[in-house]
Amino acid sequence: MDILQRTLEELGLSTLFERFRSKRIDAPMIMSLSDSELIRLGVDTIGDRHRLRETINQKLKNTANEPNETGTNNNITNSRGRMAQEIAQEQKAKVQQPLWQKKSQSRGWTVQFVCLANKGSRSIPTATEKEILLDADDEEEDVIKKLMSAEPCERNETMGFPQTLKLIDCCWSVREFKTTVGPQANIYIRPIQKNLLTKPLQTDSTREMLVKTSCHGCSKEFALRELRDHVQFCPGALDLQDLESDDDFVYDSDVEATNAETVIYAINSSTGTSNSANVNAVLHENNSSTATPLNDADIHVSLIVTKAIEYSRTGSISDPVEILKKLQDVIVTGRPLEVEDLTVCAEGDTNFILVDRINVLSTGMDEIIAITNLRKTLEVQFYNEVAADYGGPRKEFFRLILREIKENYFDNGLRELLASDYETIGKVFALSVLQNGKIPTFMSPNILEDLFNSTETSPCIVKLRHGLESLGLYQVGRQLPTFQYLFRSTLIPLTYKKLTSLVQPQFSEEGTNNNQFEKTVYAAFLRYLREVASGRRKAVCLESVLQFITGTDEEPVLGFKIPASIRFTSAESFLPTANTCINCLTLPRPSQTVKLPDDTTLFHLYDYSFANSFYGLK
């Protein structure tokens, strides 16, 4: 009896053994199967899949006594022997086959091969390495989208950690590859002698920067893409504008009325340079009828931001949090950002986007670029995840994409060759700040100084300003300097005391049996949090617990609309669940018939939940 059959019998799944054997799946292959593949084989519940992987992994470790190299050579030798025997049998069958018998067609096999650049590569490429391979123009149309599995592997690693590649110990034939690797795996090829050249070719943006012209104000040469931004700050160009005609009428083309004409007069306005912009809206009406008033969507963002700045100055408001609250009230439109009343279903227009959790940077930026009205509330849904976004998935999206932006665009300095991406990055920053997401506090003081307080003409800084200006944050940062403090790092870690004060339990009535059971499991949960705070739960930190409950790993600047809480329920499984839209953690409690597991088992279940952020249970 092999390892797989014994394990299935121990777990009460012996009826599935024939199905595994018909698919030619053995014990080592179990560790590489995804949850969806195990479900198709009949392992339906999360607990059964988790116990199956853990038991198989432990038994494989106990039986692995021989060196890997010897086992690999024996496997290759046996595979080659089987392959030679099969080829001989096929040739013999062809000779004995009657001419009238129809020739059977063999089925093909499609698999994706990814060529790595480094001959010593041992892990799946990161997003940065993927970008380098694409820039190298190695005739690959598409590098794999799924870089890491969304499920925990046998080493208790979770999504977001690089996975170590394994050598394929089989004969290099289609049949052996298909049997050993599986139908949906990716095969990575490493160079043997020399690393591949990954020097990027000249991009279109580089060629565009070579086309230059001179400024009429200062006679200096600038690239065409930089000239418009330079003119806004050039003193000579501003003097030339003063000599021109004052009849600068800007007509609002978005409002078409038969009996009304709207004219917006811009008087000495210069976005980002002057201390204030005087903008007057005049409505000329015909005597025959009354004109239709402008809606919020028809009013330009700069006019709204100008009024908000004037409101802050008039009221002597210097607190950046209070300024942000005012901006959020006047800029964000559509459905409310958070659930404020559990008895009322929030309704309103949203900008719906669909993103891949594994490839959140690329898919997220593509979706943001396509949005025409950034003022609407963002509604986020992840691929293959069932969750209605009323605040939680949106905060999770901002947390993930800001982490990727930090690693790819700021950790090693600004990426001049990717300057065009910084405008979209600025839009992501503005949306995250205004819609209760994380504040991008990872920009260095020098970058912040260049962004708000200098005439820096770096293409990355210029594009970043454009992105922030799409929702008025650049204008606010220029004219209300205290607002810039939101983007400075505070370095205040989340502590055990802070987390337990943020997340309050909701116990049953005092004196009831449920109250006693709830306090028992809550005491176990507090013991678990102490271990997490001390670093003894390697895959989980306190930020992971808060992120699992609320969708964000830190308390928002404007706080939670509904305070984070813990409710208790009776269930057979002790896996915690959460509703991030109402900031509620659900802890299963014991009962008269279901006893609370020991701390080792219970804490392992807590690790499994808090280390994953997938929305929905199967």
| Residues catalogued as catalytic | 581
Tokens coding 279: 């903008």
Q: Biggest alpha carbon distance in the chain?
A: 100
Round to the nearest angstrom and report the end-to-end CA distance of the chain.
31
DSSP tag of 16: G
Q: Which helix (H) or strand (E) holds 68?
A: helix 68-96
Q: CB under 8 Å, gap of 24 or more: what pairs does 543-547 form? A: 543/494, 544/610, 544/611, 545/499, 545/610, 546/494, 546/499, 546/502, 546/503, 547/396, 547/399, 547/613
What are the distances in angstroms from CA 450 to CA 236, 344, 428, 477, 614? 21, 45, 19, 12, 38
Q: In whole angstroms, how large is the CA radius of gyration of the chain?
A: 31
Strand order in the sheet with 584-589: 504-505, 565-570, 584-589, 577-579
What are the distances in angstroms from CA 427 to CA 356, 473, 587? 19, 10, 38
Interatomic CA distance for residues 524 and 520, integer angstroms: 7
Interatomic CA distance for residues 508 and 529, integer angstroms: 22
> H helices then E strands: how many in the chain?
23, 13
Residue matched to tokens 């110990």: 169
- Select from 33, 382, 19 the least CA-distant residue to 184: 33
Tokens coding 575: 């896996």
Interatomic CA distance for residues 89 and 91, integer angstroms: 5
The residues with which 333 forms a beta bridge, in sequence order, are 376
Are the C-beta atoms of residues 52 and 7 closer than 8 Å to each other?
yes
Interatomic CA distance for residues 345 and 339, integer angstroms: 8
Interatomic CA distance for residues 478 and 125, integer angstroms: 40
Q: Which helix (H) or strand (E) holds 7?
A: helix 3-10
Q: Which amino acid is at 246?
A: D
Helix (H, G, I), strand (E, B) or coil at 156: coil
The residues with which 223 forms a beta bridge, in sequence order, are 212
Are the C-beta atoms of residues 409 and 418 closer than 8 Å to each other?
yes
